[in-house]
Structure 1
C-alpha cells in the first residue's frame, strides 16, 4: 500500500467513521476500520491510528482525561475545527465522498430507506439528503452511547432511538449536533418527546406530574425506578446543558 500523505477527503472520511463507531472499536481489527482502509488503499493500522488522532480534539474526552494518541497531523485539527460546529455539512459531504469512493449511489452507500422516494427531481434530492443526515445522526448517537439506552440500559438496536433534545423542527442549526441527542428506547423516547420525562442539565431524570399522578403497575415498573437517577453518559458528545435546560423549560410538563 502506498505511503502517502492523507488528503482532505481522506481526513473527512476518517472523521465520519470516528463519529459512527464506539471508541472501543477504534482498532485495526474492527470490520468498519478494515473496510475504510481498503477503500482508501491504506493499512488497517494507519486508519485506526488516524481515528485515534481525532480523540485529541474531543472536549468530552479531554474532560475525562482521555487524550487518544498524543501526536497527530495538522489535518485532523483542521477537519475537526471545520466540521465540529457544522454537523449537517459533515454528514452530507462525508457520505457523498464515501459513496464516490465506493463507486455507488449515496442512497445505497448510506443504507437509507428508499420507500416512498420520488423517482427524480428536487423533492427526491431533498428527501435523500434529509434521510442521509438522519442516518448519520442515528449512527453517531448510538455509537456514542455504545448502543444502549441512557435511561434503562436496553441494548437492542431495533428498540433504540436517536432522540433530539430540542426537536428537529425547532433547532434548525442544531438538528445534526450530536450534543443535541440522547439514545433512548422507544417508550422513553416517546415520553421524552411528549414532556412526560426530562433530563436535567446535571443529567438526572425527572418525571412529570402526569406520570407521578397516574401510578399503576406499569408506571411503577417502567418509570418510577428511574426517578432522579442519573442517565448513562455517552463516551463522547455529552448532551449540552443548554439544550437540556431548553427541554426542561419548553417541553417538560413538570
Structure 2
C-alpha cells in the first residue's frame, strides 16, 4: 500500500480495526500485530503505535480515567471513529478483507473459526466467511477490552469466555458488532445473562433475579447469589453503553418480563 506523510483513510481504518482488537497495554511498536500492519501499509511500527494511542485519546472509557493518550487525534481519526460507530458490521468486514488483500500471508495465521470448509462455494462461502469475520472481530474486541477476564467472576480461561451481547444480536442490527454492546462473561454467566436471569443496574452492579434467589441449588447459591449488588469489572475501553444496559434490564430480565 503506497504511503506518504499523510495517512490515507484506508490506512486509518485498518489502524482503528486493529485498535479495537488489541488490549490497551499492547498498543506499542513491539507488538507483532502492530509490526505486521506497519509493514503492510508502508508505515513504521512507531507510527502505527502512535496512531493507535491517538485513537485511544478519543475513547471516553480511557479518557475518563485520566489516560489521555497523546492528545494527537486528527480530524481523520475522528472521522474514522464516527464512521465505525455508525456501521460496525460493514467496516469490520471491509477492513478484514482489505487486510487480507494487502497481507495475503496472514490468512494462514487465522484462527480456526475463520476457516471455511472447502466444499462451501459461491454465495454460501461469502456469507459464512463474513459471518465468521464478524464473530471473530466482536469476540476479540470485547475480550481484549476486558483484559481476557469474565467481568463478573474473574475467570480468565479463554476457552470458557464468551463475548456476550447486552442487547441480543437479533434485536439490534446496527450494534451487533459494537464493543460497547458486549460483556466478557464465562459460559455460565453468559447463559444466565442471555436468559435474563441476571442483569445490571445503571451503575453496573449485578442484579440477580427472584427466580434464581428462590433456587436451593448449591451451584446457584455459590455462583450467582454472591454477585447480587456487586459491581462488575469495567473494561479498559468501550465501556458498556448505559442505554444497552437499560434495554437488557427492561426487555430481557425475567423479573421485569413477569411484571409486564
TM-score (norm 2): 0.90
Instruction: Please say if residues 150 and 233 of structure 1, whose CA atoms lie closer than 8 Å, have aligned partners that are also in contact.
Output: yes
Using a 3 Å threshold, how does the CA distance of structure 1 residues 178 and 100 change in structure 2: closer, same or farther? same
Instruction: Name 1:8's counterpart in structure 2.
Output: 9
1:102 and 2:97 matched: no
CA distance in 2, matches of 1:76, 1:181: 23
For residues 109-136 of structure 1, the C-alpha deviation after alignment (integer angstroms, 9 at most, x for no partner) is 5753435675212222122111111110
1:147-226 paired onto structure 2 within 5 Å: 147-226=148-227
CA distance in 2, matches of 1:102, 1:118: 24
Instruction: Name 2:258's counterpart in structure 1.
Output: none
1:143 and 2:150 matched: no
Instruction: Please say if residues 52 and 68 of structure 1, whose CA atoms lie closer than 8 Å, have aligned partners that are also in contact.
Output: yes
For residues 211-232 of structure 1, the C-alpha deviation after alignment (integer angstroms, 9 at most, x for no partner) is 1111332222211221110000
CA shift for structure 1 position 105: 8.7
CA distance in 1, matches of 2:233, 2:106: 37
Instruction: Name 1:87's counterpart in structure 2.
Output: 88
CA distance in 2, matches of 1:3, 1:174: 34
SS state at 1:75 partner: helix
1:28 and 2:66 matched: no
Instruction: Please say if residues 152 and 233 of structure 2, whose CA atoms lie closer than 8 Å, have aligned partners that are also in contact.
Output: yes
SS state at 1:119 partner: coil
SS state at 1:18 partner: helix
CA shift for structure 1 position 157: 1.1
CA distance in 2, matches of 1:116, 1:45: 38
Using a 3 Å threshold, how does the CA distance of structure 1 residues 238 and 191 change in structure 2: closer, same or farther? same
SS state at 2:115 partner: coil
SS state at 1:5 partner: coil
Instruction: Please say if residues 197 and 252 of structure 1, whose CA atoms lie closer than 8 Å, have aligned partners that are also in contact.
Output: yes
Task: Give the root-mean-square deviation of aligned CA atoms.
Answer: 2.2
TM-score (norm 1): 0.92
Q: Which runs of 5+ in 2 are unaligned?
A: 256-260
Instruction: Name 2:124's counterpart in structure 1.
Output: 123
SS state at 1:68 partner: coil
Q: Which runs of 5+ in 1 are unaligned?
A: none
More helix by share: 2
Instruction: Name 1:245's counterpart in structure 2.
Output: 246
For residues 190-222 of structure 1, the C-alpha deviation after alignment (integer angstroms, 9 at most, x for no partner) is 111111111122101011112111133222221
